[in-house]
Structure 1
Amino acid sequence: MEEVIGRVFVERNHSGAVPIGSMPERYFVPRMMHAWVLIPGQHGNPSTAFCQRLVPVPRPKYGEVLIFVMAAGVNYNGVWAARGEPVSVFDMHGAASHIAGSDASGIVWAVGEGVTRWKVGDEVVVHCNQIGYEDIESNGGDPMLSPSQKIWGYETPGGSFAQFTVVQAQQLLPRPKQCSWVASAAYLLKLATVYRMLYGHPPHVLRSGVSVLIWGAAGGLGVFAVQLCRLAGAKAIAVVSDEKKVQYVQALGASTVIVRTRFPSLFTNASHGSTDWMQEAKAFGGEIWAATGKGNNVDIVLEHPGQQTFPLSCFLAKRGGLVVFCAATTGYRFEFDARYVWMQQKRIQGSHFAHMKQAHEANSLVMDGHVDPCVSRVFNWEDLPLAHELMARNEHPPGNMVVKVGC
């Protein structure tokens, strides 16, 4: 016997899951699937927190789509989910288990009622912003300000670290056919996040002649910030953690590269604001002032490390400039000298992923070949915890890591 789910037949006689790296017969939906799962009360380092399970394949509801996942991108929110920091994912959604993963490339396997734009067989990438369709901000406002807004795979329990995932139809974008399945899964969360940071907070927007200080320029966010600056004719001043990464970010378009390990006392929390810290901050700033060619600080600081770098970011933004941040991977409690902010009328702006139009515009840059996904390392399914452990220890290679699922 068969039943129809989302306009696709479901196999009644196949209770198990198909092996990782293979597909069910198109387009039959198995009862079960392989997934990497987090369990309440078992937070910890990614190497131990993630566990493999067989779980039921989710079913698409109205306005939703079932995706067969070909590959899944690795992002820092997977580390946060494993560790339960800054809050447990279970405090956000209350589900009995959590499948992380907020980037995916895959194939539309089934569609729910009300879906008209996508059909079974379409090859897609998934952006991670879920919204309530009836919210005011979702209709003429900024959907990222909607009270219903959630990050799929972090604030919702069913992400991309499984053979199948259910998403809202509005989360889908066409995948770049010139890219492999792996490359297609590498970029969208980080690229769209950076796109909003640099274009979504006027009047401080990326344009020709603007200077941008980019922390972690060889990392997943940084590689896209450098490329966007190159495309806009802006000056990318890239900060990296060691000399080995200098040529990498220069090849992406960085005009100046600063190796932060040359300034060790700047990044110890206890020294913020001390005389020694200020002297070294001015030495660090000297490299920026030489790069701007005018002895000026930068127009925009692209922040995500947080606690270790935020005091310097506020010091190095120019008068009337912008410090925009999207994360705090080194700590959530920031200190900075407020005098440099209020007296020089600098702006501090939080930024969170992107709405659908911004994600579409960012994706188009890859579709048109203007932005490289910068895949650094590809992991097999069984090595998913290792990928997150390397990210947690900041031992991952430059660029973006991806886990193979169905490919």
Structure 2
Amino acid sequence: MVQPILDAILANEFDALGSLDVPEHYRGVTVHADEVDMFDGMPSSDKDPRKSLHVDDVATPELGPGEALVAVMASAINYNTVWTSIFEPLPTFKFLERYGKTSPLAKRHDLPYHVVGSDLAGVVLRTGPGVHNWKPGDAVVAHCLSVELEGPDGHNDTMLDSEQRIWGFETNFGGLAELALVKSNQLMPKPAHLTWEEAASPGLVNSTAYRQLVSRNGADMKQGDVVLIWGASGGLGSYATQYALNGGAIPVCVVSSEEKAEICRAMGAEHIIDRNAEGYRFWKSDTEQDPKEWNRFGKKIRELTGGEDPDIVFEHPGKETFGASVYAARKGGTIVTCASTSGYMHTYDNRYLWMNLKRIIGSHFANYRESWEANRLIDKGLIHPTLSKTYSLEETGQAALDVHRNAHQGKVGVLCLAPEEGLGVADPEKRERHVAEINRFRGV
């Protein structure tokens, strides 16, 4: 039973958690291996996460060395959960099978069900052998980088580890659940001024945007850079917009409605392109792009910036926009890309890349240090959550559908053990100083 654990957390009796029994089972959001063919032959846009995401009673995994079991108060939806739910680009059970072959301990992850989710805010319930920095009762958030670090490749940049995986996507026992299993070095302190659902929402996207835009491993943004940001009010772009503004850069925010444009203005951005209002059509057909539209798009950017092209293009839509991104970047500029929510097969005119000495940089999540730095900025109140709406655990399928159809703003949260929103604030004075920014996306 998880109820005694929840009762202790709600009573702020965190020290009692170490003496409470760990339940043998808990509720988690899952996909099932015997359903991976359920959407065969359907267009991606028609695949419905509500049909594939289940809330099941699952067995609590064995706790291994260097690991922690966390009581999850809240989690959030990322696009990797959408991909998992529609079994694209391939079912995640292949990831779990591959991981399970690496060690007897990893074999725990290779199951006929996959507990999903790559964000959490909660309280440490147990730690395994060899864990010294965390103890039962610690309020935490978790980043989603899972690595083994047994080979040399990851020791300058943990994202380059040969066994690098994303927790809750390429591993089991993720954060959309009442309990979650993580490596202890995924844990970070929960920002005390945030509620559980607010603290859970930045994790994956905040760290991803930090590496992609700020880090030397990404675009290495500097003051004065013009930064073109696709989907600037979305889960990833909303953090990129904040980093550009905080770092003295000049964001050019691409959105798809006036409502989303208003959110960017509220964050402090001045240069907005409503791509739907402008009627951009970068593809003439399924196989042919339209360079005239790239040119029209570039002119619009220069109108806003006083004649300057982007130093950096913050790319994540992929196929639909990549040709325009390569074209629009300034001579010597950088296109930094992660994800591909509109398609993985990118095509562009290489003349604009090679003859103008532009660079394409691939960026994926963030290493341990980058994740800590990104979380520290949340804790300092310099970067803020972009949570717009919160669902119950039972409504996770609907939450994933909203993200799948881009019917959301910022981040979408999910309450796990938390019985209601607004709980978990340990520093109300600090919260009061930032409450307007924290609530900026609410109800939009």
1:123 maps to amino acid: A
What pairs with 1:75-224 in structure 2 (closer than 5 Å)? Answer: 75-94=78-97, 95=110, 96-139=112-155, 141-201=156-216, 204-224=219-239
The secondary structure found in structure 1 opposite 2:323 is helix
The superposition leaves residues 51-79 of structure 1 with CA deviations (integer Å, 9 ceiling, x where unpaired) of 12111112321000110000001100000
The residue aligned with 2:29 is 36
Residues 318 and 63 of structure 1: is their aligned pair in 2 closer, same or farther, counting only changes over 3 Å? same
Select the residue among 302, 315, 335 that pairs with 2:327. 315
Select the residue among 278, 285, 297 that pairs with 1:284. 297
What pairs with 1:222-371 in structure 2 (closer than 5 Å)? Answer: 222-268=237-283, 270=285, 277-293=290-306, 295-371=307-383
The superposition leaves residues 252-311 of structure 1 with CA deviations (integer Å, 9 ceiling, x where unpaired) of 12220100113435243627766xx33332222122112322x23101101111010001
Instruction: Tell me, in whole angstroms, the C-alpha distance in 1 between the residues paired with 2:132 and 2:224.
Output: 43
Residues 147 and 269 of structure 1: is their aligned pair in 2 closer, same or farther, counting only changes over 3 Å? farther
Alpha-carbon shift at residue 203 of structure 1 (Å): 8.4
Residues 347 and 126 of structure 1: is their aligned pair in 2 closer, same or farther, counting only changes over 3 Å? same
RMSD between aligned residues: 1.9
Residues 218 and 361, structure 2, Cα contact 8 Å, conserved in 1: no
2:23 maps to amino acid: P
The residue aligned with 1:73 is 76
Instruction: Tell me, in whole angstroms, the C-alpha distance in 2 between the residues paired with 1:211 and 1:313.
Output: 13
Structure with higher helix content: 2
The superposition leaves residues 289-346 of structure 1 with CA deviations (integer Å, 9 ceiling, x where unpaired) of 12322x2310110111101000100000111111111100011111111110011111
1:146 maps to amino acid: D
Alpha-carbon shift at residue 20 of structure 1 (Å): 11
The residue aligned with 1:381 is 393
Select the residue among 415, 420, 439 that pairs with 1:404. 415
Q: Which runs of 5+ in 1 are unaligned?
A: 1-15
1:363 maps to amino acid: N
**TM-score, with length taken from structure 2:** 0.84
Residues 201 and 41 of structure 1: is their aligned pair in 2 closer, same or farther, counting only changes over 3 Å? farther
2:94 maps to amino acid: D
State the identity %. 36
Choose 117-126 or 38-47, whichever is displaced more.
38-47
Alpha-carbon shift at residue 227 of structure 1 (Å): 0.5
The superposition leaves residues 180-222 of structure 1 with CA deviations (integer Å, 9 ceiling, x where unpaired) of 0010000010010010001234684112100100000010001
Residues 211 and 218, structure 2, Cα contact 8 Å, conserved in 1: no
Instruction: Tell me, in whole angstroms, the C-alpha distance in 1 between the residues paired with 2:254 and 2:192.
Output: 32
Instruction: Tell me, in whole angstroms, the C-alpha distance in 2 between the residues paired with 1:282 and 1:182.
Output: 42
2:364 maps to amino acid: H
The residue aligned with 2:439 is none
1:178 maps to amino acid: H
Alpha-carbon shift at residue 19 of structure 1 (Å): 9.8
Residues 154 and 162, structure 2, Cα contact 8 Å, conserved in 1: no
Alpha-carbon shift at residue 349 of structure 1 (Å): 1.2
Instruction: Tell me, in whole angstroms, the C-alpha distance in 2 between the residues paired with 1:39 and 1:151.
Output: 19
The superposition leaves residues 138-193 of structure 1 with CA deviations (integer Å, 9 ceiling, x where unpaired) of 33x11111111000000002101111111111100001000000100000100100
Instruction: Tell me, in whole angstroms, the C-alpha distance in 1 between the residues paired with 2:62 and 2:321.
Output: 44
1:131 maps to amino acid: V
Residues 283 and 21 of structure 1: is their aligned pair in 2 closer, same or farther, counting only changes over 3 Å? farther
Instruction: Tell me, in whole angstroms, the C-alpha distance in 2 between the residues paired with 1:279 and 1:158.
Output: 48
Instruction: Tell me, in whole angstroms, the C-alpha distance in 1 between the residues paired with 2:382 and 2:252.
Output: 20
Residues 49 and 82, structure 1, Cα contact 8 Å, conserved in 2: yes
Residues 308 and 395 of structure 1: is their aligned pair in 2 closer, same or farther, counting only changes over 3 Å? same
Instruction: Tell me, in whole angstroms, the C-alpha distance in 2 between the residues paired with 1:284 and 1:363.
Output: 35
The residue aligned with 1:8 is none
**TM-score, with length taken from structure 1:** 0.91
How many equivalent pairs are there? 387
Check if 1:47 corresponds to 2:50. yes
Instruction: Tell me, in whole angstroms, the C-alpha distance in 2 between the residues paired with 1:19 and 1:33.
Output: 13
Q: Which runs of 5+ in 2 are unaligned?
A: 10-15, 40-47, 98-109, 419-444
The secondary structure found in structure 2 opposite 1:88 is coil
Instruction: Tell me, in whole angstroms, the C-alpha distance in 1 between the residues paired with 2:379 and 2:242.
Output: 14
Alpha-carbon shift at residue 23 of structure 1 (Å): 6.3
1:262 maps to amino acid: A
The secondary structure found in structure 2 opposite 1:298 is coil
Residues 269 and 308, structure 1, Cα contact 8 Å, conserved in 2: no
Instruction: Tell me, in whole angstroms, the C-alpha distance in 2 between the residues paired with 1:384 and 1:263.
Output: 34
Choose 258-267 or 206-215, whichever is displaced more.
258-267
The residue aligned with 2:103 is none
